[in-house]
């Protein structure tokens, strides 16, 4: 075979118009090689993203073949995975260039060596960089709110090996442990009628502790866009923040409500004993109003539900149970206008919306079960997208519009169910793991 003595057209093209000459900004790896015999010096710099060579540039001092091989390898390497790039050989570079004179094969064809050196340099520093990076953060995942959404997200993140903290301002277990700790769970598959709200919350707290979730009983006062939370004991930085602040009982906006708020006006029913022998008006149309009436059925003397709608919006078996209790009366199409009294609640003024008539009723207590309002105060200034009712908007991974900030449970869903909060937690834990650990299968 005739020996190649001249440069191919492709070599000349890369020599005259070298591609990717220069310096990669904040290079992740640098490889330098040289040939002491002919004096060629080659430097290749790389930028890596998700194991892929996003940029490759070179600076070469040498002959036409040294320039052309450097230029060619940058084109061959960009877009390849590190493993693929490590497999590029000197021979393949020469082949891509349409061949090189044999004398140049050994002295000037060093580009593959320089690229491999740059990748090895990157790999050597990667682990070190990851360690330094990890030290900048207090936790992988910080969860704000320790209700069903926050606790179960924490458990599932810790289960995947993520360093996790949950901050809770008040009661572990959220609104359920605050308002109805002794209520039997009726709609959590597998636990129906087997577990009270407290039992469920206690088992979550124990699981979280076992998995070494850091449980911090303190309020978060602010969250910054760089994923720092400002709590009572100081500032903490997380790679991911999960908002699980839930909701609080909504105000009925009724005249006199505030005045009698600790003197006969209640938000939901925490202690049925408070209603023993009392005449009670329950305000609301949904599940919570029905729950409230059922929970005081054994203690109150007379229970009237003032329901603004044509029907109660609750599950059929609860409505059946309610109908079977003589002391419960439902006033449909009825709005409560005013709560009045001297020291304590004595009367309510209601309006029959169909008949357009006002009705006065003597009562001892008013229970407002008119819904829940999302707790959004601490991130009002963060620029998170919310719908018109204040619920956070998320994508199907539960991510908000701000990178690294997720939301679970009642703050992100008007379904207001424990089972939904728990499933949101599973979604977040899966996606947080992918985002932070970058497993090979993603």
Q: Which residues bind ligand FAD (CB under 6 A)?
A: 144-150, 167-171, 174-176, 179-180, 186-187, 219-220, 244-247, 268, 288, 291, 372, 375, 378, 409-411, 416-419, 421
**DSSP 8-state class, residue 232:** T
Among 269, 320, 321, which Cα is nearest to 295's?
Answer: 269
Read off the tokens for 387.
């719908």
Residues 245, 142 contacting (CB under 8 angstroms): no
- Map residue 134 onto helix, strand or coil: helix
Q: Is position 192 annotated as part of the catalytic site?
A: no
User: Cβ closer to ligand FAD: 118 or 229?
Assistant: 229
d(CA 59, CA 193): 72
User: Cβ closer to ligand FAD: 76 or 283?
Assistant: 283
Read off the tokens for 198.
């407290």
Least distance in angstroms from the C-beta of 407 to ligand FAD: 9
Least distance in angstroms from the C-beta of 205 to ligand FAD: 12
Backbone CA torsion sign across 312, 317, 323, 329: negative
Residue 271, classified by CB atoms within 10 Å of its CB into exposed (0-12), middle (13-18) or buried (19+), is middle
Angle made by CA atoms 219, 222, 226, in degrees to the nearest 5: 130
Catalytic residue (one of 107, 180, 192, 307): 107
Least distance in angstroms from the C-beta of 41 to ligand FAD: 59
User: Cβ closer to ligand FAD: 43 or 291?
Assistant: 291
User: Cβ closer to ligand FAD: 238 or 246?
Assistant: 246
Least distance in angstroms from the C-beta of 282 to ligand FAD: 12
Phi and psi at residue 322, to the nearest 5°: -65, -45
User: Cβ closer to ligand FAD: 119 or 179?
Assistant: 179
User: Cβ closer to ligand FAD: 27 or 180?
Assistant: 180
User: Cβ closer to ligand FAD: 180 or 328?
Assistant: 180
Element (H, E) at 237: strand 234-243
What distances in angstroms separate CA 360 from CA 129, 308, 335, one per listed residue?
72, 16, 12
Q: What is the DSSP string of 185-215?
A: P-SSTTTTTT-BHHHHHHHHHHHHHHTT-EE
Q: At what angle do helices 418-437 and 148-159 cross, to 10 degrees?
A: 30
Phi and psi at residue 213, to the nearest 5°: -70, 135
Q: Is position 307 annotated as part of the catalytic site?
A: no
Catalytic residue (one of 38, 180, 192, 307): 38
β partners of residue 143? 166, 242
Least distance in angstroms from the C-beta of 294 to ligand FAD: 11
Least distance in angstroms from the C-beta of 211 to ligand FAD: 18
d(CA 410, CA 417): 8
Residue 356, classified by CB atoms within 10 Å of its CB into exposed (0-12), middle (13-18) or buried (19+), is exposed
Least distance in angstroms from the C-beta of 250 to ligand FAD: 10
Residues annotated catalytic, as ranges: 38, 107
């Amino acid at each position: 075979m005739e020996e190649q003595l001249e440069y191919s057209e492709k070599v000349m093209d890369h020599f005259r118009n070298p591609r990717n000459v220069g310096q990669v900004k904040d290079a992740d790896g640098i490889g330098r090689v040289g040939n002491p015999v002919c004096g060629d010096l080659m430097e290749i710099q790389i930028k890596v993203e998700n194991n892929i060579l996003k940029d490759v540039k070179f600076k070469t001092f040498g002959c036409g073949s040294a320039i052309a091989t450097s230029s060619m390898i940058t084109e061959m390497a960009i877009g390849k995975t590190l493993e693929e790039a490590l497999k590029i050989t000197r021979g393949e570079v020469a082949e891509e260039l349409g061949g090189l004179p044999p004398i140049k094969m050994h002295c000037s064809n060093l580009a593959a060596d320089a690229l491999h050196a740059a990748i090895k340099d990157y790999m050597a520093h990667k682990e070190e960089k990851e360690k330094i990076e990890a030290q900048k953060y207090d936790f992988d995942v910080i969860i704000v709110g320790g209700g069903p959404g926050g606790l179960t997200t924490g458990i599932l993140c810790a289960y995947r090996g993520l360093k996790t903290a949950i901050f809770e301002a008040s009661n572990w277990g959220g609104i359920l442990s605050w308002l109805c700790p002794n209520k039997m769970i009726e709609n959590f598959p597998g636990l129906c009628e087997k577990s009270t709200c407290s039992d469920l919350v206690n088992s979550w707290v124990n699981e979280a502790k076992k998995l070494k979730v850091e449980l911090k009983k303190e309020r978060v006062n602010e969250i910054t866009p760089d994923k720092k939370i400002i709590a009572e004991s100081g500032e903490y930085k997380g790679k991911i923040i999960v908002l699980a602040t839930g909701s609080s009982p909504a105000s009925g906006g009724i005249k006199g409500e505030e005045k009698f708020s600790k003197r006969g006006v209640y938000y939901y029913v925490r202690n049925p004993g408070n209603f023993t022998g009392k005449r009670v008006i329950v305000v609301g149309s949904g599940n919570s109003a029905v729950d409230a009436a059922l929970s005081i059925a054994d203690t109150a003397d007379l229970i009237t539900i003032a329901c603004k709608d044509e029907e109660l919006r609750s599950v059929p078996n609860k409505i059946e149970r309610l109908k079977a209790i003589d002391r419960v009366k439902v006033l449909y199409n009825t709005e409560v206008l005013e709560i009045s009294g001297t020291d304590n609640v004595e009367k309510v003024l209601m309006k029959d919306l169909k008949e357009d008539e006002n009705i006065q009723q003597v009562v001892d207590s008013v229970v407002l079960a008119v819904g829940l309002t999302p707790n959004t105060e601490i991130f009002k200034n963060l620029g998170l997208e919310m719908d018109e009712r204040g619920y956070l908007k998320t994508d199907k991974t539960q991510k908000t519009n701000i990178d690294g900030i997720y939301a679970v449970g009642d703050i992100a869903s008007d379904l207001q169910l424990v089972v939904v909060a728990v499933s949101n937690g599973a979604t977040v834990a899966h996606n947080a793991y992918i985002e932070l650990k970058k497993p090979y299968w993603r």
